Structure 1
Amino acid sequence: MEYRAILFDTRSIQRYIYSGNRLKTNIGASYLVKHVFTDIVIPKLEEKLGEGSVDVDSWGKEPDMDFLAVPGHCAVVYCGGGKLLLVVSFEENGVEECRMLIRDISTELLVACPGLHIGAAFTAVHPNQPDEFQKEIDSVYSLSKQMQNRVLPAVNVPYPGLTMNCAVSGETASYYDAGREVQTDGEARFYSQEIYVKAKYAEKANAELKKQFADIIGDYRFPFQFDELGQRATENYIAVVHIDGNNMGTKFRNCKSQTEYRRMSEDINTKTVGCFGKLLEKIVNEYESYQDFLTLKDNILPIRPLILGGDDVTFICPAKLAVRFAKYFMELMADSASVPGIKSEAAKVIDSCGGIGIFKTSYPFFRGYQLSEQLCDAAKVRMRSEEAAEGSSWLDFAILHGEQAPTLEQIRAQEYAGARGSMHFGPYQVGHSDGKLPKSHRFDIENLLDCVAQFHSGKCMAKNKIKEMRSVLQHGEFEAVSFADQLRHQNQHVPKVKNWEVYEQEENSYWSGGRTPYVDAIEMMDFIPKGE
């Protein structure tokens, strides 16, 4: 008896999900990515290998070698995180059979979810020899990684004699949407097959999400369109929040077997979904208070998760709620008691980093997501620096106003480089305990919120002076000293924020160490409600 491990992995997930400015298609794409293996690949395997030939569950507990002793049987070793790992038994050399199996599944995927990149790799394994098996599984993961840079499959049917381009994706508009799956109002139109399939699955995605959190949200429902998030016409900004667990690769590498790997993965998923449920509970309890600065209708929640599972979370919400939601969720993830019943120690406390990209609804959505991902990466850089304590969580944000440079580094260089240093103060630390304090509390998110609240109150500075300060900080020391003199003569002052005393000192005139915290606070006044 011979055994082959086959690894399917989903590639270019972000581009597949976030391409196009239709929330409905983003929702459907996210659902497809999450369910492509369970709903499409595994049923196809059973059809190809025979009924009862695929063992989906037992390897999550212990390897079932008796089941694999039958030629043509297949065990699901791991399914999650965009990957599906299988072990298939063959009576003889299974190289050609593996290739045929991958070919048939690839053909099915081209029809069922056009545009989605799925890669595959396989190798011989010895599942009855645990130490050898683990090395062989590592090798198939490495092979899959190598193939990502060598094989670029065509996953859309190109130019089938039609010349009209899809208004959403730019691909050939080969599907006539007579049932108005993509756009419910107006005349029926032509779209690409990829956009149609994504839109078709959006209803399933919302139904699944509604069922998953039914006990929490009750009669509330998730939005289908960006303009249902509640932002007002004069404040038409939304936010993409991307949060990612810290050092998760190290945690998984410490697993001594695929069974342990799978168990920890399931616990991490339970932690993430449980924390998001706690966030939804908070939103339901606060729902009426949001009407002070949002226009919410028909019990629609001001949040929509697009990726929810593992340690990776992405959701959209009105810009005015982004910091509140991200901060609360990250604090829950780092709290060992927030979700009961988790056995894996590595999953009980998950420190994380997050990025908040704020932009107008009309802005290209994929670029908005890319910005949030770059901000999350910037937060991770701070997390690894000497300024951060071990096991800390960090959050960064950026605001896009119209057309700007495509990368975060360019935006910061063009928009936030002052004569005296960087006018962006973040990333900010989210949550801490007395047992693991950073060297300085200057970067605590509470400092930023306190400063914004004092600006909002108008007790320290007049509104016209706050706007003027943004311009002053961009210039040199002379302008800052002159501005400080004006404030003193008018009996005004910058907010008194704990841990920011060094920036208030007259000799520093709002700067220290090439940084100033006040520009962030001034810009976030529009995106942090009064009283936050």
Structure 2
Amino acid sequence: MSAYVFIDVSRKQEYIFRSKRLRDNLINSYVIKSVTELPGIADAEPTATDDEIGNSYSEVTLATYLAEYYTGAYSVVYSGGGNSILKFTGAKQAKEFVRGYSLEVLSAYPQLELYISKVTEEDIPEGCNKEDMSLIRRLLIQRADRLKDSRKPMFRRWSYGIERIDDSGKPVLCTNTRQVKDGLDRARNVLHKRLKDRLKKIGGEEKVEITVELSDYKSSDERKSYIGVIALDGNQMGKLFNKLRTPESLSAFSLAIEKIYVEAVADALCAYATSKQKLIKITPVLMSGDDVCLVTNAEDALDITAAILERIRTPSPEAKKALRKAVEGVKGLEDKQLDLTACAGVAIVKVTYPFFDAVQRAEKLCRRAKEELYRLAGSEAIAASFMNWEIVQGQVSAQKPYEKLVSRSREHSHYHIKPLRVDQLHPTVDGVYSYRAFRSLADGLRNLLEREQISASFLEKIKKHLYEGWESYSLLFKLDQTGAGKALSDLVEQTFLSDGNWKYGVRIESDTGHGHEEYRYVLNDLLETIAFISAGKGSVDTDVKV
């Protein structure tokens, strides 16, 4: 009687980002990948070589354990995205694997929360197809969730006062400098290999520099030492996975998604570097299926994010073909569901800002962007790509509390147009603003500043009057005799094609039901962000010749 096991890790982010050092975060990311995935599957390699799974920082890997104890006793159903499903020829072997491997991982990485669930053929309800991978996967995940829910509260005595403790307050594990170096090299090879291969294929090796040191982003001018932490996640991936019912389709779909996302990141970076004619620094912290976390210079982060989202929506013919082949014959899957989209959040912070906090902010912004999918279409999310961002000047931001304070007295004023839709051609549709129009507005404002049609001092006055209400704000424009106010108003109206009632760069909407007007201050996001947008053309040539 065969049995299936599902290998997963809980609290992944807490484990990956428990250190303040980026190189440690990369090693931790590699550890999770190595104990939950098989490199021969997720990385599209035929087998794992001795060097790949040999003696290095990672004492235990899924590949080494299976090769040592279970050769020929299992088959791989799916592996990727930080988890795997294996099929064992016998229930007894599956049970022994769960116990043995759990103990090995716990001994090597005591701070890692590994969960392994098991489903045998007897556990599949009567009348159901015993080979239905959609059902089996659902049962495995349900059992893993029950294991996670039953875990004991994490109130443990980690230190007795005589040990060295790390950034998380837990005892430092005994690792020497050589082990750390080996771990970092191994992490680089595994986590960055596919990205490097793609960059090499499209001629982007000399245009994109992959770094693992946050110090590389520091500038001689402290005011410019900002980074953009990008969190990107695919839309509706769970629904697509649930429609796949065979091991072959699960594995092929996983590989296709990996290919599309790696190509999207590499191609976007290469095209952006070419358009700006400069070397782009990038740090891939996490690239696991449709889950991506990147670090780059703040001034490049927004345009790179938009370019990646566009690439995911329009993958290469080769990648699209692989995706269609993976789902060939799958019932209930419409062709339009293969038009992939994703959402992203970008946290722009100082390079010295706590990295884990920055990642959490970026992921929160990504979730906020995803909410737009449902806000526009009700219960069923639409297929669209949104991006959101936040600029954090310090660990405690006073901007949002202040906005909440003034919003109570000015409930009909709206100070943001974010999140922005990346795949929208028209400047505004049903109250949704496009990133393309926003980027055009930023270039237009820079042009006005260069031609001295508007001054930086006038922009500072706008910032001060934004939250003082419509009367104060409009009076600033009415009393302006320099022509700056008119030039700025004209720029906003030209950018948004006079779509709606615009005045002084504000969109005024009448609420006939309640007899009042709503004010949307478009310039607020622009003035806050303009210093963190690279000068020059915003759109990037997306045609990369291979």
Q: Could you say whether these structures have the same fold, taking a TM-score greater than 0.5 normalized by the shorter chain as the test?
A: yes
* 1:442 CA displacement: 5.2
2-structure distance, mates of 1:154, 1:107: 19
- Give the secondary structure class of the aligned counterpart of 2:300: helix
The residue aligned with 1:425 is 417
2-structure distance, mates of 1:158, 1:274: 42
The residue aligned with 2:471 is 478
The residue aligned with 2:210 is 222
* 1:15 CA displacement: 1.9
Task: List per-residue Cα deviations over 1:321-371 (Å, max 9, x = no partner).
Answer: 011100111111111546546333478631111111111111111111111
2-structure distance, mates of 1:306, 1:221: 14
1-structure distance, mates of 2:183, 2:397: 30
2-structure distance, mates of 1:240, 1:339: 30
1-structure distance, mates of 2:306, 2:323: 24
The residue aligned with 2:328 is none
* 1:205 CA displacement: 4.5
Matched, 1:304 2:280: no
- Give the secondary structure class of the aligned counterpart of 1:282: helix
User: CA 1:222–1:156 in 2, change beyond 3 Å: closer, same or farther?
Assistant: farther
2-structure distance, mates of 1:499, 1:442: 12
User: CA 1:121–1:528 in 2, change beyond 3 Å: closer, same or farther?
Assistant: same
- Give the secondary structure class of the aligned counterpart of 1:501: coil
User: CA 1:156–1:331 in 2, change beyond 3 Å: closer, same or farther?
Assistant: farther
Task: List per-residue Cα deviations over 1:481-514 (Å, max 9, x = no partner).
Answer: 2112123564532252332636873499555434
1-structure distance, mates of 2:476, 2:338: 49
**Cα RMSD for the two superposed structures:** 3.5
1-structure distance, mates of 2:454, 2:364: 34
2-structure distance, mates of 1:130, 1:259: 19
Match of 1:268 among 257, 277, 283: 257
User: CA 1:153–1:274 in 2, change beyond 3 Å: closer, same or farther?
Assistant: farther
The residue aligned with 2:112 is 116
Is the Cα contact below 8 Å between 1:125 and 1:137 reproduced in 2? no
Matched, 1:492 2:485: yes
The residue aligned with 1:56 is none
* 1:35 CA displacement: 2.6
2-structure distance, mates of 1:218, 1:426: 34
- 1:34-113 aligned at under 5 Å gives the runs 34-36=33-35, 37-38=37-38, 39=53, 40-49=61-70, 52-53=71-72, 73-90=73-90, 94=92, 98-113=94-109
- Give the secondary structure class of the aligned counterpart of 2:89: strand
The residue aligned with 1:355 is 345
- Give the secondary structure class of the aligned counterpart of 1:305: strand
Is the Cα contact below 8 Å between 1:229 and 1:303 reproduced in 2? no
* 1:78 CA displacement: 1.1
Is the Cα contact below 8 Å between 2:16 and 2:26 reproduced in 1? yes
Match of 2:297 among 318, 330, 344: 318
> Could you tell me which amino acid in structure 2 is paired with residue 376 of structure 1?
C
The residue aligned with 1:147 is 147
- Give the secondary structure class of the aligned counterpart of 1:133: coil
The residue aligned with 1:505 is 502
User: CA 1:105–1:514 in 2, change beyond 3 Å: closer, same or farther?
Assistant: farther
> Could you tell me which amino acid in structure 2 is paired with residue 485 of structure 1?
K
Of residues 462-471 and 147-156 in structure 1, the stretch that sits farther from structure 2 once superposed is 147-156
Task: List per-residue Cα deviations over 1:412-464 (Å, max 9, x = no partner).
Answer: 64698883423121100102369xx9734750112211222222222553111
Task: List per-residue Cα deviations over 1:103-143 (Å, max 9, x = no partner).
Answer: 2212221344443221111121279x982332344212211
* 1:377 CA displacement: 0.9
* 1:222 CA displacement: 1.3
Of residues 105-114 and 501-510 in structure 1, the stretch that sits farther from structure 2 once superposed is 501-510
Task: List per-residue Cα deviations over 1:224-253 (Å, max 9, x = no partner).
Answer: 211213645321111111111111111112
2-structure distance, mates of 1:226, 1:424: 30
2-structure distance, mates of 1:258, 1:352: 25
- Gap runs ≥5 in structure 2: 39-52, 54-60, 325-334, 510-517, 539-546
User: CA 1:282–1:414 in 2, change beyond 3 Å: closer, same or farther?
Assistant: farther
2-structure distance, mates of 1:414, 1:502: 30
The residue aligned with 1:59 is none
User: CA 1:465–1:503 in 2, change beyond 3 Å: closer, same or farther?
Assistant: farther
Is the Cα contact below 8 Å between 1:162 and 1:172 reproduced in 2? no
> Could you tell me which amino acid in structure 2 is paired with residue 251 of structure 1?
L
Is the Cα contact below 8 Å between 2:231 and 2:363 reproduced in 1? yes
User: CA 1:112–1:217 in 2, change beyond 3 Å: closer, same or farther?
Assistant: farther
Is the Cα contact below 8 Å between 1:429 and 1:444 reproduced in 2? yes
Matched, 1:526 2:531: yes
User: CA 1:284–1:514 in 2, change beyond 3 Å: closer, same or farther?
Assistant: closer
- Gap runs ≥5 in structure 1: 54-72, 183-196, 291-300
- Give the secondary structure class of the aligned counterpart of 1:131: coil
The residue aligned with 1:169 is 168
Identical positions, percent: 18
Is the Cα contact below 8 Å between 1:27 and 1:205 reproduced in 2? no
The TM-score normalised by the length of structure 1 is 0.79
1-structure distance, mates of 2:95, 2:218: 50
2-structure distance, mates of 1:142, 1:318: 40
Task: List per-residue Cα deviations over 1:141-171 (Å, max 9, x = no partner).
Answer: 21112222212598999437733322x3332
Is the Cα contact below 8 Å between 1:7 and 1:84 reproduced in 2? yes
* 1:284 CA displacement: 4.7
The residue aligned with 2:58 is none
Is the Cα contact below 8 Å between 1:303 and 1:316 reproduced in 2? yes
User: CA 1:364–1:508 in 2, change beyond 3 Å: closer, same or farther?
Assistant: closer
**How many residue pairs are counted as aligned between the two chains?**
478
- Give the secondary structure class of the aligned counterpart of 1:271: helix
> Could you tell me which amino acid in structure 2 is paired with residue 527 of structure 1?
F
> Could you tell me which amino acid in structure 2 is paired with residue 122 of structure 1?
K
1-structure distance, mates of 2:14, 2:313: 29
